[in-house]
């Protein structure tokens, strides 16, 4: 059983664009079609997880509805031709608009297909990440972590994201406890009542 992304859109530009974004970021199978009817060609039982990205105009299309019902895990994403779309549509789990960045698209797909987890089964942190984690646990802000490690705030944020992805621990108190357990910081490093 495998995961894949299917793009259904009449526009060549849109299809090719999204496909390129995905291929550059994730090694995932991508199928492209210009009409929803072509979805019937897909061997559904082969995929346990699908991300279906399609033009917002296909909402409630029968073929798509069947797809949702018959796939174990599916994320249906609408593509809106508007610059910004804050329409939350019942039919779509989420909507990408013209303003959605390539990072957002890649992250969304990765998260749903659990790529981060699959690739980082190893939850060993790098030395740099441990250093960042130590400072997070001691209560430092992104800015002050950046200053003390001579890196940009942007880099700090990306380290934080990697730490969270590797460990599966997302809150600052949670990360602090992790740091104590792994002896990255000692309990006495933290003022007692500020502990967590």
Partner 1 sequence: MKEFRKDDRMASLISANHYLLPVIHRFGIRLGFKNKTVAELCAKYKINSDFFIAIVNSFHNPNYFPEEKLLSFSPLLIIDYLKKTHRYFVRYSLPGIEKRLHQLQLSSPEGSHEMLSIENFYLEYKKKLLAHIADEEERVFPYIVGLISSPESIENKKLHLSFEEEHHNVDLEIDDLKNLLIKYTNPVYDELICNELLIEIFRFEKDIIDHARIEDNILIPQVNQIQNQR
The residues of the shown chain that bind partner 1, judged by CB under 8 A, are 123, 167-171, 173-174, 176-178, 180-182, 187, 195-196
The residue (of 23 and 170) whose beta carbon lies closer to partner 1 is: 170
Q: How far is the CB of 186 from partner 1 (least distance, A)?
A: 8
Torsion of CA 46, 50, 53, 57, to 10 degrees: 80
Token readout for 33 is: 């079609």
Token readout for 155 is: 């880099």
The residue (of 59 and 155) whose beta carbon lies closer to partner 1 is: 59
Q: How far is the CB of 192 from partner 1 (least distance, A)?
A: 10
Give dist(CA 143, CA 145) in Å, integer.
Answer: 5
In this structure, the number of other CB atoms found within 10 A of the CB of residue 15 comes to 20
Q: How far is the CB of 126 from partner 1 (least distance, A)?
A: 17
Q: What contacts 118, CB < 8 A, 6 or more positions away?
A: none
The residue (of 14 and 74) whose beta carbon lies closer to partner 1 is: 74
In the numeric block, the tokens 């492209």 are attached to: 32
The residue (of 13 and 181) whose beta carbon lies closer to partner 1 is: 181
Point out which residues pair with 32 in neighbouring strands: 7
């Amino acid at each position: 059983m495998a995961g894949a992304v299917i793009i259904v859109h009449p526009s060549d530009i849109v299809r090719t664009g999204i496909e390129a974004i995905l291929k550059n970021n994730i090694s995932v199978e991508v199928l492209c079609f210009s009409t929803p009817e072509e979805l019937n060609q897909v061997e559904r039982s082969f995929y346990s997880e699908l991300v279906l990205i399609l033009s917002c105009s296909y909402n409630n299309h029968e073929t798509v509805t069947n797809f949702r019902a018959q796939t174990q895990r599916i994320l249906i994403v609408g593509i809106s031709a508007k610059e910004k779309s804050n329409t939350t549509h019942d039919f779509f789990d989420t909507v990408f608009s013209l303003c959605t960045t390539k990072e957002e698209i890649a992250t969304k797909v990765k998260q749903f297909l659990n790529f981060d987890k699959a690739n980082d089964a190893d939850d060993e942190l790098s030395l740099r990440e441990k250093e960042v984690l130590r400072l997070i646990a001691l209560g430092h802000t992104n800015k002050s972590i950046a200053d003390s490690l001579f890196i940009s705030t942007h880099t700090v944020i990306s380290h934080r994201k990697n730490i969270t992805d590797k460990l599966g621990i997302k809150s600052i108190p949670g990360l602090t406890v992790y740091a104590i357990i792994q002896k990255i910081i000692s309990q006495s490093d933290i003022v007692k009542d500020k502990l967590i």
